[in-house]
Amino acid sequence: MEFMSALGSQEDAYRPSLFELIAQEKLREMLQPAVQYVLAVYAQRYPRFLIRIVNKHEEFYAGLMLLIERHYLKEWGASFAENFYGLKRVATQAATNGQFIAPGSDQSSQKLSTKDINRSLLFLVGLPYIKSKLDLLYSQVSGGASASLLGENEQEERELEILNDPSASVRTKAVVHLKRIFRKVYPVVNMLYYGSNLCYNIGYLFGKTKYYTPWLRILDIEVKRMSMDDYRAHYEKSMMGVPSVQPTSVIGRSTHFLGTVLGKMIELLKVLLPMSIFFFKFLEWWYASEFARGGGRTGAYGDEEANIIPPPEKVKPDPRGTKVPSTPNTCPLCLTRPINNPTALPSGYVFCYTCAYRYVEDHGRCPVTWTKIRGGTERLTKVYSGSAGGM
């Protein structure tokens, strides 16, 4: 397994393994649902401020990632996920000049040009955004959940009715034709999208190509491991800090200050991300452990207390309701003994199924406790063991 994880990287120490590259891809894919979940949770508390962001989540996330990815491409020459795993992007021409082959060399790493940064942003942010919108459109065109329940034939029939309707406008028929074409073409495009990535992954794994995705081949950019010279050059640059020419205007100084603060906050994401993952994993373990359920407590004699949930308090009969029979296993309504097809109400009392069904359907109450039963006859519960006519 160690051989497979480093396959193709023996000749170039700075060539990352496919497993590193897939790991950073998976990290990037996990960010969007995590952000969407956090926004959905807080939108329930502050709907006035966040509901619009939740409704436009794809646009909000694309804008957020555009800001983050641009910062990391300018500062580190890598995307956020690539920098998290100690990787960076290098133009193929710089990589073939032997820049990464000699460890410990004094040659500083070449920064990405503005053109390379903009093109990288197009594939890091623009392509996933377009893909998410196309996926959403395909889900709507294909019928979504209704198609899985009613079947695609139902949707085909509705579309054929529109196409055969002489009163339908030309625009409506054109939209239907486009939907039908998109529904047939997009699965093929989707297959080619993932298939091309898979082919490049396999080719990269066995050293047949320098690019692990076709998008890097289009950009003519390779992904390499960062060296100590790269880290040293970055931190020396950050220690030098203040630029030689300071802005003199108030707006210029304010913009510079906000940019510096924002850059520091974005850099903190590398620390906050692993901390948040550890925190959520700890909470997941805690709530699944015996400690959260109180199973670790012991009794007075040293024996572990049974982790048994106590039964609910017994609901007392109401004077206006039916009296509970003194004999056990007797239906309070028809006084049949034993109870025929025992059925329990939310109050805890057991009746014959037909008696309980008719009473709840007519009155919407428990006949003994006189409490209202929300949900009607759907709240009837089958009892599989012998039971008395009470709790």
Domain end point (choices 222, 240, 258)? 240
228 plus 367 within the same structural domain? no
Question: Last residue of some domain: 191, 208, 240?
Answer: 240
Q: Is residue 320 part of a domain?
A: yes
Q: Are residues 321 and 235 in the same domain?
A: no
The pLDDT score that the predictor gives to residue 40 is: 83
User: If pLDDT is split at 50, 70 and 90, which confidence band does 388 have?
Assistant: very low
The residue among 283 and 99 whose pLDDT is bigger is: 283
Q: Are residues 120 and 233 in the same domain?
A: yes
**Cβ-Cβ contacts under 8 Å for 335 (sequence gap 6 or more):** 325
User: Both 65 and 209 in a single domain?
Assistant: yes
Q: The domain spanning residue 324 has which CATH number?
A: 3.30.40.10
Using a pLDDT cut of 90, give the percent of the chain over it.
24
Same domain for 347 and 217:
no
Domain boundary among 215, 240, 265: 240
Contacts of 219 (CB under 8 A, 6+ apart): 116, 119, 120, 123
Residue 304 scores a pLDDT above 90 = no
- Domain that includes residue 388, residue range: 316-391
Higher pLDDT, 70 or 1: 70
Whole-prediction pTM value?
Answer: 0.62
Residue 117 falls inside a structural domain = yes
Q: Of 170-174, 266-270, 379-383, which gets the smallest average pLDDT?
A: 266-270
Express each pLDDT in 69-87 by its tens digit. 998 898 889 999 998 899 9
Confidence of residue 208 (pLDDT cuts 50, 70, 90): very high
DSSP 90: E
pLDDT digits 0-9 by tens, 119-146:
999 999 999 999 999 998 998 888 654 4
- Does 280 map to a domain? no
Q: pLDDT category, 148, cuts 50, 70, 90?
A: very low
Structural domain includes residue 191: yes
Strand partners, 221: 91
Q: Are residues 21 and 132 in the same domain?
A: yes
Mean pLDDT of the chain: 78
Q: Is residue 289 part of a domain?
A: no
Question: pLDDT tens digits for 280-290?
Answer: 667 667 777 66
Q: Would you state the pLDDT for residue 60? A: 92
- How many structural domains comprise the chain? 2
Q: What is the mean pLDDT of residues 352-369?
A: 87
Residues 174, 86: one domain?
yes
Q: Are residues 72 and 211 in the same domain?
A: yes
9-18 pLDDT, tens digit each: 455 788 999 9
Beta bridge partners of 88: 224
Looking at residue 8, its pLDDT comes to 45
297 within domain boundaries: no
Read off the amino acid at residue 334.
Answer: C
| Percent of the chain at pLDDT exceeding 70 | 72
Q: Is 308 exposed, middle or buried (0-12, 13-18, 19+ CB in 10 A)?
A: exposed
Look at residue 305 and tell me if it is in a domain.
no
Q: Are the beta carbons of 119 and 219 closer than 8 angstroms?
A: yes
- Rounded to whole angstroms, the Cα distance separating 102 from 259 reads 36
pLDDT at 35 over 90: no
pLDDT category, 103, cuts 50, 70, 90? very low
Pairs from 295-299 (Cβ < 8 Å, separation ≥ 24)? none
Task: Note whether 213 and 116 are same-domain residues.
Answer: yes
Residues 6+ apart with CB under 8 A from 237: none
Same domain, 233 and 320: no
Choose between 116 and 102: higher pLDDT.
116
Rg of the chain over Cα atoms, rounded to whole angstroms, equals 33
Q: Exposed (0-12), middle (13-18) or buried (19+): which is 15, by Cβ within 10 Å? A: buried
